[in-house]
Structure 1
Amino acid sequence: MTALRARVTALRVMVFGAVLATGLASAPGLRAEEPQWRHGLSLMGSVKYPADFKHFDYVNPKAPRGGVLRMSAEGTFDSFNAILPKGSAAAGIGLLYDSLMASAYDEISTEYGQIAEAVKFPDDFAWAAYRLRAGAKWHDGTPITPEDVVWSLEKLKDLSPQQAFYYRSVVKAEVTGEREVTFRFDQTGNRELPQIVGQLTVLPKHWWEGTGPDGQKRDIGKTTLEPPLGSGAYKIKSFDPGKRVVYERVKDYWGDTLPVNVGQNNFDEIRYDYYRDDTVELEAFKGDQFDVRFENVAKNWATAYKFPAVEEKRVVLEEFAQRGSGVGLGFVMNLRRAKFQDPRVRLALNYAFNYEEVNRTTFFGMYERVNSYYFGTDLAAKGQPAGTELEILQEAKTKGPVPEEVFTKPFANPVAADQTQERNNLREALRLLREAGYVTEGTRLVDAKTKEPLRIEFLINSPTAERYVVPYRQQLAKIGIDLTVRSVDASQYSNRVRSRDFDMIYSGWGQSLSPGNEQQDHFGSAAADRQASSNYAGIKNPAIDYVIQRVIYAKDRAELEAATRALDRLLVWNHYVVPGWTYRFTRLARWDRFSRPETLPYYAEPQFPTIWWWDAEKAAKTGSR
């Protein structure tokens, strides 16, 4: 999962309490209650870096620049429009743009100014104002303006249902000064909102409303293969539609010396070549057709990297710890389908999955099974609820259904360490299914009333998924459930998941160390029927909605942790997924042509390629490309 890469995607941020980021110096005599301009914002109290910091500790400020980095992507692309939910945007398109704020990866949920030099907001978080840098400009030399910021937010909300949901509490953005834009919110007390708008990708209004080379007016509501104007460290140099896109470093990049950028963006060119599937991509890497491969398949890591270049140490295999995020994932059932409405059916499907056998035979014993939606973090529920967590759960029970097990025991997956346990698990699965109204007729499990067989279609977009789906199909067949595997290409898969046209998929949710408003998109009732939301399962539970609000409006870190653990219990005990597996390291295979700082960011190793650089001496030893 991509995301499941993380690039988990965008770092979630919140600001707690009165102890916030140190800011730019305030004028003498400023009233205490008047908002002060700040250079950074953090969840954890004071920010690490002062207003006059020169660069992040995890970069090499003297990193050499040059070289071409060759990356890979799977499938194809048909657009350079990064904000539309339709179409397939080109890999690396985010290199073109800067945001108001930039994340620090050696701190939890902390941001510093990029396009914006400062931010301020009142104690009740009813609004937030950002002051733009005087030198911020687009690649054509035009200044980045507050009007660009306002227009970008409006277009994101107009054209992307997911972004409209994410920014729905931002009811207005307005120009309030020559270089100032103010966002107004529809609520108070939501400490995350100032930093949510700080993550906004700013787009050039004048370019998108202008005329293209063909003489036609551009339309940001449509896909396009015209290279767009950006403001970031890179721009598009060339491309072959659907096959390749090449980015080149902007030599006069306006933000090159900003503290949040020093020591980064060191490659002269970054090239993405597209491959039709993972098998072809792996062979291309072995043949030195591209430089770096993030390996997500345990079998490949164990068996596929035994070729001469590895033995000669011209290819380096490394693993990097994942500390800055957690994950919840598994076989996601579509609750919009009647057959998955009964939680006993969902639990039975977990009992029928022999994870231990799959991990042994397919994953080479490398993985851990997930038992939390925040697995790998201190936010995962443990033991029995107590204190504030228990109080939150008791209050949630007055809002909607809460399984009794939430209060009585910690969640654990069924285990099938041997054949006896496997048979016992299958018996328990059958017992649950019969309680839910199914009976066995011949070799099939059917609904006792309608006589409809229990059939499940598992939607996949990669042949590698068959390695764990096929054993699951064999297990389900033992109790009379017919599981079919439907393999489609990446574009079809995205469209079907977006439109909720599936029974079951393998997917999940990347989680930061500071959950917040995004939980509504993951698990909230309002997102269940909205296409392109990350509420893949279609969860509609008022008890969960209530606890999500407790997460968002937590007054301090202790309450946030208690509320998140309460949410975790509700999610796992409702059996919305058959829990999957994870590996708490990032596997990176690379041709030895690059170097990196001695100290990598603690919460985001390896940060490739952002803080790495081309090493000409190593490249000469490794061989020509």
Structure 2
Amino acid sequence: MTISRRRLLQTSAFAALAPVIGGTGSLSVIDAASAQSAAKGAEWRHALSLFGEIKYPAEFKRFDYVNPEAPKGGTVRQIAIGTFDNFNIAVAGVKGNIAGAVGLIYESLTTGSLDEVSTEYGLLAEAVSHPEDYSWVSYRLRANAKWHDGKPVTPEDVIFSLESFKKYHPQYSAYYRHVVKAEKVGEREIKFTFDAPGNRELPQIVGQLTVLPKHWWEGTNASGAKRDIGSTTLEVPLGSAAYRIRDFVPGRSVSVERVKDYWGRDLNVNVGRNNFDELRYEYFRDGTVALEAFKGDQVDWRTENSAKNWATAYDFPAVAEKRVVLEEFLNRSSGIMQGFALNIRRDKFKDPRVRRALNYAFDFEEMNKQIFFGQYKRISSYFDGTELASSGLPEGKELEILETVRAEVPPEVFTKPYTNPVGGSAENVRGNLREALQLFKEAGYEVRDRKLVNAKTGAPFELELLGEDPSFERVMLFFKPSLERLGIGVSVRTIDATQYENRLRTWDFDIVVSSWPESLSPGNEQREFWGSQAADMAGSRNIVGIKNPAIDKLIDRVIFTKDRNDLVAATKALDRVLLWNNFVVPQWTYNKVRTARWDRFGRPPEPPKYGQSGFPAIWWYDADKAAKIGKRS
């Protein structure tokens, strides 16, 4: 399961199957469907958990980690990097640059808690029902759920949203591709039928659906033109959530304001949340400029992703005076793979020995020392930082799973624990480069006139390191000399966000830096990360272009697990096979989130276990603190 549908539309990609719309909406239909559900053991529930562990009972008052007395008011200014030219999230995967704040104006059927793993509670929906075989799920909408124009949220809105995402958004089309039928079966009830039983994650995935207003999208704008859900737009859209768009400057800033008469303000899942009157996002094309804006009190909060900045850039008076607070929050909610992603759609990267050779050329230890101040550790798993990461040799249930694909995976899966080459010294670097050259030789390359060439054709081995973030150039430039010592022709190119996105969508690259956040309960999104069907779908997260039958089988094994122990074993098996195919050159990770803030805010005493800082959702504006540190610039 993806970490959250709110992480700006990071879900999955591919073919759409149009749902069937039906039903009459009569009370007798609701009663008949409910009776039928009960007869099959599919009782109505207030929450769903992947493996049945639900912390909060049906009548709970609030989540434990919020402050129910948190004051409402104030503004928080945050940083966004890049630009935006679109408010239509239905096409965010393939058209335009979506404004990050737009996700705050919409709601889903359910919402997750931040102190549980893979548990969802009703938001737009008041109840959910599914049979023991997970072959379908029904959601019943709350009677008082309303759009900001006062009209009720309806089953028709839900079905329209599913159809739109499956048709126009490649990532969501994969995420929901197993929903083969969506139908209205009652005045406020929608039933989703799946293509096969046994996928326990699908009911929750449906609950994460972002619901869009059908009547608004099928209406006309101020100019009288019909709106098009398949096109980008900067018309402010209609939402249903605690916030709505207040104002914006295209590509520069966007602000959302708290809706004073928000229909869901008293829901138990919302108590202590949505405390700021305004959330403002200032867009910067360059991270260095954004940092200076923070220092100048032009923004209030900053998440720092640069080890160098964290070590050197926060020595300014406001920090010494305690007006700016530096704080790290432990990340318990996710793992990650981040690396140089090799586009194996291109012939030069098809041989796994070539891909492994590039890893031997990467001296992480020296890079960590020189430019990261020793803060990072090398990633050695696609699920790094979680109990799902493989280690040692496979055994027990994991080995049993791997035996089913033994003939289709690298033999090292069974004989050698995966490790990255270790650099950091002249001796290690020389040994690693010798090993890299040997692997290139085995793959059909040789060095001629100090250039690495194809032994048969004489074509030089060249590659481009492509990026969109100027601050990441130093990483690529650090990697470049090592590659050149092997005789590889290397170019480093940084382009703007729009060009970069277009090149990714058309798979027009050699190597890019990419990352794949992983939740504690992986599932259907793995198909979009590594599955064969996603490899050729524009906008998918299968950046590498993996088409591997064994990996497809292992992904299915992850999806159809029966319990937590089975999930852990299946995920470790998948992890091990991904690693030994050498699809990426793993980079680094840090298990804390570095933050800096102007000290104007209050928060609950303990952050939620799986919510990192919980900012800004459960924080609030503290007028007394703000008065002590002075006015904003």
- Fold shared, TM-score > 0.5 on shorter chain: yes
Which residue does the alignment assign to 1:579? 586
Out of 221, 228, 234, the residue aligned to residue 225 of structure 1 is: 234
Could you say what secondary structure the match of 2:553 adopts?
A: helix
Amino acid at match of 2:86: S
Amino acid at match of 2:625: K
Structure 2 residue 424 is the aligned partner of structure 1 residue 417 = yes
Deviations 1:470-494 (A, max 9, x none): 1110111111011111110111111
Out of 318, 327, 333, the residue aligned to residue 327 of structure 2 is: 318
Structure 2 residue 270 is the aligned partner of structure 1 residue 261 = yes
Instruction: Please show how residues 492-571 of structure 1 align to structure 2 within 5 Å.
Output: 492-571=499-578
Separation in structure 1 between the aligned mates of residue 58 and residue 443 of structure 2, nearest angstrom: 61
Which residue does the alignment assign to 2:468? 461
Out of 116, 125, 135, the residue aligned to residue 144 of structure 2 is: 135
Which residue does the alignment assign to 1:61? 68
Separation in structure 1 between the aligned mates of residue 571 and residue 527 of structure 2, nearest angstrom: 12
Instruction: Please show how residues 304-383 of structure 1 align to structure 2 within 5 Å.
Output: 304-383=313-392
Out of 610, 621, 625, the residue aligned to residue 617 of structure 2 is: 610
| Cα offset, 1:609, TM superposition | 0.4
| Cα offset, 1:529, TM superposition | 1.0
Instruction: Please show how residues 172-321 of structure 1 align to structure 2 within 5 Å.
Output: 172-321=181-330
Deviations 1:516-574 (A, max 9, x none): 01000001111111111111000111111111111011111111111100000000000
Which residue does the alignment assign to 2:455? 448
Separation in structure 1 between the aligned mates of residue 102 and residue 513 of structure 2, nearest angstrom: 26
Separation in structure 2 between the aligned mates of residue 336 and residue 511 of structure 1, nearest angstrom: 24
Separation in structure 1 between the aligned mates of residue 86 and residue 38 of structure 2, nearest angstrom: 50
Q: In 2 relative to 1, CA 552–561 (structure 1 residues): closer, same or farther, beyond 3 Å?
A: same
How many positions carry a matched residue from both structures? 608
Which residue does the alignment assign to 1:146? 155
| Cα offset, 1:37, TM superposition | 0.2
| Cα offset, 1:10, TM superposition | 6.3
| Cα offset, 1:32, TM superposition | 6.4
TM-score after normalising by structure 1: 0.95
Moved more, 335-344 or 459-468: 459-468
Amino acid at match of 1:42: S
Separation in structure 2 between the aligned mates of residue 35 and residue 421 of structure 1, nearest angstrom: 60
Separation in structure 2 between the aligned mates of residue 539 and residue 577 of structure 1, nearest angstrom: 11
Separation in structure 2 between the aligned mates of residue 30 and residue 119 of structure 1, nearest angstrom: 11
Task: Indicate conservation of the 8 Å contact 2:11/2:175, yes or no.
Answer: no
Separation in structure 1 between the aligned mates of residue 365 and residue 279 of structure 2, nearest angstrom: 41
Task: Indicate conservation of the 8 Å contact 2:336/2:382, yes or no.
Answer: yes
Deviations 1:188-234 (A, max 9, x none): 11111101000000000001111111111111111111110000000
Separation in structure 2 between the aligned mates of residue 459 and residue 323 of structure 1, nearest angstrom: 31
* Unaligned ranges ≥5, structure 2: 13-33
Instruction: Please show how residues 99-118 of structure 1 align to structure 2 within 5 Å.
Output: 99-118=108-127
Separation in structure 1 between the aligned mates of residue 221 and residue 496 of structure 2, nearest angstrom: 32
Separation in structure 1 between the aligned mates of residue 37 and residue 539 of structure 2, nearest angstrom: 46
Could you say what secondary structure the match of 2:595 adopts?
A: strand
Q: In 2 relative to 1, CA 4–263 (structure 1 residues): closer, same or farther, beyond 3 Å?
A: closer
Separation in structure 2 between the aligned mates of residue 191 and residue 559 of structure 1, nearest angstrom: 13
| Cα offset, 1:276, TM superposition | 1.8
| Cα offset, 1:31, TM superposition | 5.8
Q: In 2 relative to 1, CA 189–28 (structure 1 residues): closer, same or farther, beyond 3 Å?
A: closer
Structure 2 residue 628 is the aligned partner of structure 1 residue 621 = yes
Task: Indicate conservation of the 8 Å contact 1:245/1:273, yes or no.
Answer: yes
TM-score after normalising by structure 2: 0.94
Out of 165, 169, 181, the residue aligned to residue 174 of structure 2 is: 165
Out of 401, 404, 426, the residue aligned to residue 395 of structure 1 is: 404
Q: In 2 relative to 1, CA 414–542 (structure 1 residues): closer, same or farther, beyond 3 Å?
A: same
| Cα offset, 1:43, TM superposition | 2.2
Could you say what the CA RMSD is over the residues aligned between the two structures, in angstroms? Answer: 1.8
Separation in structure 1 between the aligned mates of residue 140 and residue 267 of structure 2, nearest angstrom: 15
Moved more, 80-89 or 339-348: 80-89
Could you say what secondary structure the match of 2:108 adopts?
A: coil
Separation in structure 2 between the aligned mates of residue 457 and residue 29 of structure 1, nearest angstrom: 59
Task: Indicate conservation of the 8 Å contact 1:234/1:247, yes or no.
Answer: yes
Task: Indicate conservation of the 8 Å contact 2:50/2:200, yes or no.
Answer: no
Amino acid at match of 2:538: Q
Task: Indicate conservation of the 8 Å contact 1:4/1:510, yes or no.
Answer: no
* Unaligned ranges ≥5, structure 1: 13-26
| Cα offset, 1:439, TM superposition | 0.8
Amino acid at match of 1:476: L
Q: In 2 relative to 1, CA 299–442 (structure 1 residues): closer, same or farther, beyond 3 Å?
A: same
Task: Indicate conservation of the 8 Å contact 1:316/1:590, yes or no.
Answer: yes
| Cα offset, 1:5, TM superposition | 12
